[in-house]
Structure 1
């Protein structure tokens, strides 16, 4: 049998069902759908209850299962199973990790789960398996679910449409701020810090009472984050920024105590989310690698009562430096605030006021819906009570009517028709028991009816008057505060700035050495013990062939130095910027520190820590010129240096001293001449001035150095020659003259002594640091050098090798080494007879001012 219907090609049918689409558009839309699913369904909290879906589902599952704070603990595996089976179709490990975190008092400011068993630790230990631990809701978690059965929030179908789950919890507390939240979505993340419940509630009440309150007004209540692990927030500016913009970076510092007497640092609180065990390991690693010095032992003495990590210091360690080293790398962390939450399903970054405004609107909606729900219940109950009261008024006839009826339906119909009862009232009356007709029952019904009608009036007032509704919210918030408020755990400390590199450098006296080939280094002063005069010293630099020492000077590692070169340039340098190296090291190239030209060498160094604005920098040149310039002229020194003095062709800057306007100047020449004159003879000049003639040099002579002498502070003038000889002479030996004179003979030069290298003003306790061109350094007390008259040969100060010579000297004041408790002992013996080195009849008797035993 043939058919009139044409045959249809199956491939044509399938082709008609295919829709062409651009793959770029399909991928874009699919990715957007995925991203929004992650954002709204997993990673970001809702601004209203501060919960992500997994937290909300766990709590609701516990609520439905009756695992409340008053029930017995339930196996965590049971809670996880019910949550996964009914509401959250994801892996059980993700659900259990969330449940465990809600039970950790070091993760949640107010834990939502009361856990029993091992739920992990601040050391990063994982929770025990879910089959071993038990849990139930914490009391504050029940406040998030309070009134959920009273139509306060919307419900939606669960993943398989069997059940319904809440879209949001009623949340009687501003939970987003109270417990905070963190999460990473697609292209965005949130990191809301926890806060003190009492402070947040006070701010919420303030906002309800004054909707025009600013963020600053609310911050009068919310001082800042309050982390469960305590610690300290450094400064308040970052907190203010975070509250005003929704973003900020807050520095959180551990709580610790530096006990210098016991030589230890005790850590008692850690920044939020810092792993204590890993912290101890990292500190130990840095100690072993030499990144942190001064620690001899590290112990974790923490127990159930709290954290206690003890850092034992070495005997000679500087506690402040060790503390700063720990702060830089271990004891301070940054908490990046990103106040991102879902508002009507869309992610928004919110400031403090906006966050609380959304919560207040949520609570208004909850209280309104709850009041409407209760009003409906109360009105229904009042209607029933009205029927009962009416029946009691006509009890005999009502009973008779019921008795005369064939069945309940007939009795109900008779009551509705004869007494005008509603269907609900008639149904209730026919089901009443005879015992409810007693006079006692009548009084109870009347009393209940009065209560119900009063409650109805109250609910109607709440729903009709927004101020009354707000008063209910405020009252309930105050109840939450009274129940759950506690003291702040996180404190505020003053922001003194971040730990700088300088804070990590021990403050110590140093010797700085520079060579003619521009190699520079620093070494601790204590490396060179004081010797008797005439010693050889010890090696201070291993110079490369052909290189020679050009200068040596002493400074504190934290000093700012003004560095003067022979070309008249001045540079500013921090001592610790000079690399610290061993005695036998060559040093590092100075071009990394100072922008020196070819042939430019350091001639003088001035410590800026000793400078006052009313003082002067007094400079002398090789050709005898002198200039005084006020200190404030050198306020801004570029990294490339600035001009300190104008030099004529062939002239060079030789030495610089700090003067106060009331000192005398002593200029010493290479040929052993010296002139002393009043500082006032040289008027102050600008930086670009050349200066005036200070000493009239003989032909071929040149200036060796300058000393600023003050009779109140100095006792002698010390002169050192290139062949290692020197002497002390009383200040009185140098009578004042006018500048631009030839001066007097200071010391005899010649083949034995060689030319003068330096002239210094010294006093009791000063130490002389002398360095030879070949790298030997010798340190001796100035009292070791004989006191003789002018125009003498002096005594041997430093025993030099053949072809070696003294290249540079510096004076270290007594306070520089006495403060460090350095021993005055000497370790090199010298010749007993000093007179053999002295060729003058003016040799004085031994100093009576020398200390006992010298």
Structure 2
């Protein structure tokens, strides 16, 4: 069977022409056609009227149906149906979504639809079904369509050729800037922010008066976008960039009222979803990412936004506000001022945007004037004929009476008085009553008015400045009728504000327990007592937990937290939660990524790790090893920590000191032994090194502490024992030896004293803070502790309850903190 025959044996006619095309070329051209259809026909607004086709068609359909601001509301489903049936052959949901957005006061700066019913909310609630809502044009929307019947814009056939639709609306105000626009096309997107109507009109008038003005000149009038939800734009630089280039990123910040116990949000950034925002804040509070919040509630009503955030007692409102701004209450609006100009997408600066609109408006007024002039001239021609007929009333009446019929009368009148067809038609249709003197005067008055209108319209069309004057007058009228106050404020950009900027610099005591609960307390909480007191409660520990360490740090300092397993973690002191004396603290696992069985053993207050040249972290292990590592090696500590020292099996890190390379090191053991040697005997090593021998231990003895002694700054070595006894011994009593010797007796350890637990170098004016395992804490001047030699028992420093023992000792230098010695 021939290839030209079908299955029934019938012969098919060969194609008249067969074109060969490469598939990549066909796909490319088809995709370009599709892209241009989306760009020009759906996604991007026209720079002249600021509308996308769907919005333009909705408004025109309402105009055609008479659903104006003076008419009663019409069911939204009716408006959508007429728009879809006559002009926009797409899904009804897309049309209704566009209509609903034009009715949302929180989306549009000047809503174009007056809605009745539920058109959605700032909480992200969708509009009610279109059968339940009603709509009509808002008064300002009518200004976009004003004079459309006067041939002011071009029309094209609708999708099925039954009707004509406007290519653009006359637009009596710059709607693109006033209401903004957003959309995603193929390979491009637009995001034009809304503006204040009065400011935009002022800038347009300035451009008319000063065609050579700069963008900076126009920005004297349009200071920044003006969002319908108010809020604040942070800084002017991004606004200037957006207006000069058509692109920019604006920081939009909520309006916040802050006091000691609450934060109240009264305005939200544009396009923020209030319900989702509150949900995210609540999630952060529950997950511990946002501290200090006690309660969160939405008190918003028809009068405006009101989100109340109640703060916990002792929370810093500025810090909580900063955290809220960083994560929730400040957004970025990306400006992309992209619109269609002559059917082509173009990114416009502020002047170009207004210039395109002004060119459009000039054309609209010109065409309207031509239309009105033609009508006025036609009317004047008729009136001239009527006046001529009145002047010759008797002859006209006689000619008409002598004619056989109307047509004969018209022919005779044209021959006798040189009337035109239009004039003679009106004359024949005149009633006898119009021949009265009063009617004659009225016609003469109308003729004078029409003639004056002709003169004015002619002047407008022949004189560019007169035409521009009309545009300015009409813009001023719209401003007077519809403009309102600016809602969005511009606040200065003070740079990125961190939590640290909001935390006052002060010395605090940081307490860590064996179960790794951690907290900080203001140093002023603890006033000095006389030696030998019980102190006051410093922590209310959970059952089975014990205090492991206490140390002094400034809120802005870095803390290096060393664990018994040789890992080191970094955090700022202010990140440790500030709590009351009796509070247990917060689990350190919320701040540090600690492994199981890993406990914080030593904490070093290191003011600035990046400026650590010439400084070292000197470590001592339980087995007597000592290691010195340059501070700069700890400048980039991961959130999971890094290794500070490599430990042998069974060994643990027990103490760390910040040294400068010129100190002597004193290593102390639990059995009361100590050794002093020059820091230089321990050469600097990397973080992965094990260190060198510092002291030889006998039996079950173990290292409990390390002191870095500077003979220019320190007068004594302070030693404290488990049972609360201690002593000051002159530094010179500890003769310098070579490292890794047995050392000398530092303090007697017996049943009364217990084992040695802490050692430190002190000077006049320093204060001692001792904390027991059960959470008692006491502060006393070091000079209250007796000065005695080595190999002595010392005096009682802190009175302890049965079963309690000293857990940790911290020294407050004389130049830090309150040194008031009155008893608390």
Contact kept, 8 Å, 1:322 with 1:504, in 2: the verdict is no
Question: Hey, what does 1:203 align to over in structure 2?
Answer: 203
Query: Does 1:768 pair with 2:763?
Result: no
User: Is residue 521–residue 588 contact of structure 1 (8 Å, CA) maintained in 2?
Assistant: no
Whether the aligned pair in 2 keeps the contact of 1:116 and 1:133 (CA below 8 Å) is: yes
Structure 1 position 249, deviation (Å): 1.4
Residues 510 and 35 of structure 1: CA distance in aligned 2, closer, same or farther (over 3 Å): farther
Counterparts of 1:468 and 1:390, CA distance in 2: 34
Aligned to 2:683: none
Q: CA deviation at 1:214?
A: 1.1
- The corresponding residue for 2:645 is none
2:752 is the alignment partner of 1:757: no
Q: In the alignment, what sits opposite 2:519?
A: 524
After TM superposition, the structure 1 = structure 2 runs for residues 93-172 of structure 1, keeping only pairs within 5 Å, are: 93-172=93-172
Q: Following the alignment from structure 1 to structure 2, what is the Cα–Cα distance between the partners of residues 620 and 326? A: 37
1:335-357 CA distances to partner (integer Å, 9 max, x unpaired)?
11111111111111111111111
Does the CA-based 8 Å contact 2:57-2:88 persist in structure 1? yes
Do 1:231 and 1:489's aligned partners in 2 also have CA atoms closer than 8 Å?
Answer: yes
Tell whether 2:353 aligns with 1:355.
yes
Shift in Å, 1:767 = 5.0
Of the candidates 308, 311, 316, which is equivalent to residue 310 of structure 1? 308
Given that residues 242 and 249 in structure 1 are in contact (C-alpha distance below 8 angstroms), is that contact kept between their aligned partners in structure 2? yes
Q: After superposition, where does 1:297-696 map in structure 2 within 5 Å?
A: 297-498=295-496, 500=498, 502=500, 509=508, 511=510, 523-526=518-521, 553-560=551-558, 574-575=572-573, 605=605, 607=607
Q: 1:608 to 1:498 in 2, by over 3 A?
A: closer
* 2:62 aligned residue: 62
Report the equivalent of 2:253: 253
Aligned to 2:279: 281
- Kept in 2, the 8 Å contact 1:268–1:306? The answer is yes
Give the structure 2 partner of residue 720 of structure 1.
719
Give 1:690's aligned residue. none
> Which residue pairs with 2:90 in the alignment?
90
Are the equivalent residues in 1 in contact too, given 2:559–2:604 (CA < 8 A)?
A: no
Structure 1 residue 788, shift from structure 2 partner = 3.2
Structure 1 match to 2:692: none
Q: Give the deviation of 1:41 after TM superposition.
A: 1.0
| Displacement of 1:289 | 2.4
Matched residue of 2:315: which SS?
coil
Tell me whether 1:72 sits opposite 2:72 in the alignment: yes
Superposed displacement of residue 228, structure 1:
0.8
Name the stretch that deviates more: 720-729 or 58-67.
720-729
Distance change in 2, residues 1:41/1:109 (3 Å): same
Q: How much has 1:140 moved relative to structure 2?
A: 0.1
For residue 133 of structure 1, report the CA deviation from its aligned partner. Answer: 1.5
Matches of 1:48 and 1:411 in 2, distance apart? 52
Deviations 1:738-762 (A, max 9, x none): xx9xxxxxx9755668999322246
Change (3 A) 1:15 1:40: same
Deviation of 1:282 (Å): 2.0
Secondary structure, counterpart of 2:456 in structure 1: helix
Aligned to 1:844: none
Distance, in Å, in 2 between the alignment partners of 1:608 and 1:129 is 61
Q: Deviations over 1:441-483 (max 9, x none)?
A: 2212222222222221211111111111111111111111111
In 1, Cα distance between equivalents of 2:377 and 2:75: 42
Query: Does the CA-based 8 Å contact 1:540-1:583 persist in structure 2?
Result: no
User: Where does the alignment leave 5 or more consecutive residues of structure 1 unmatched?
Assistant: 1-8, 542-548, 565-570, 592-600, 623-633, 641-652, 658-664, 674-701, 741-746, 820-848
1:583 & 1:160 partners in 2: Cα distance?
71
The CA deviation at 1:557 is 4.0
CA distance in 2, matches of 1:80, 1:389: 51
Distance in structure 2 (CA, Å) of the matches to 1:382 and 1:703: 110
In structure 2, relative to structure 1, the CA distance for the partners of 1:315 and 1:392 (3 Å cut) is same
SS in 1 for 2:413: helix
CA contact (8 A) 2:559 2:603 kept: no
SS of the equivalent of 1:525 reads: strand
Q: CA deviation at 1:618?
A: 11
CA offset digits 1:384-408 (Å, max 9, x no partner): 1211222122111111111111122
**TM-score normalized with structure 1 length:** 0.72
CA contact 1:538–1:777 (8 Å) conserved in 2: yes
Return the alpha-carbon distance in structure 1 between the equivalents of residues 577 and 520 of structure 2. Answer: 14
SS in 2 for 1:337: strand
Size of the aligned set, in residue pairs, is: 722
Structure 1 residues 411 and 297, CA, compared in 2 at 3 Å: closer, same or farther?
Answer: same
Residue 750 and residue 173 in structure 1: after superposition, are their counterparts in 2 closer, same or farther (change >3 A)? same
Closer, same or farther in 2 for the Cα pair 1:815/1:477, shift >3 Å? farther
Separation in structure 1 between the aligned mates of residue 170 and residue 726 of structure 2, nearest angstrom: 92
The SS at the match of 1:310 is strand
- Give the drift of 1:427: 1.7
SS in 2 for 1:16: coil
The answer (yes or no) to whether the contact 1:114–1:138 under 8 Å persists in 2 is: yes
| Structure 2 residues without counterparts, runs of 5 or longer | 1-8, 543-547, 563-568, 579-584, 596-600, 620-630, 638-655, 675-704, 737-744
Q: Secondary structure at the match of 2:151?
A: coil
Question: Is 1:506–1:557's contact at 8 Å kept on the other side of the alignment?
Answer: yes
> What residue is the counterpart of 2:690 in the other structure?
none
| Cα distance, 1:285 vs structure 2 | 2.2
Point out the more displaced range, 504-513 or 398-407. 504-513
Shift of the 767–234 alpha-carbon distance from structure 1 to 2, 3 Å rule, reads farther
Aligned partners of 2:281 and 2:174: how far apart in 1? 39
Q: What SS does the aligned partner of 1:511 have? A: strand
Partner Cα separation in structure 2 for residue 39 and residue 320 of structure 1: 46
Quick one: distance in 1 between partners of 2:457 and 2:363? 14
**Any idea what SS the aligned residue of 1:104 has?**
coil
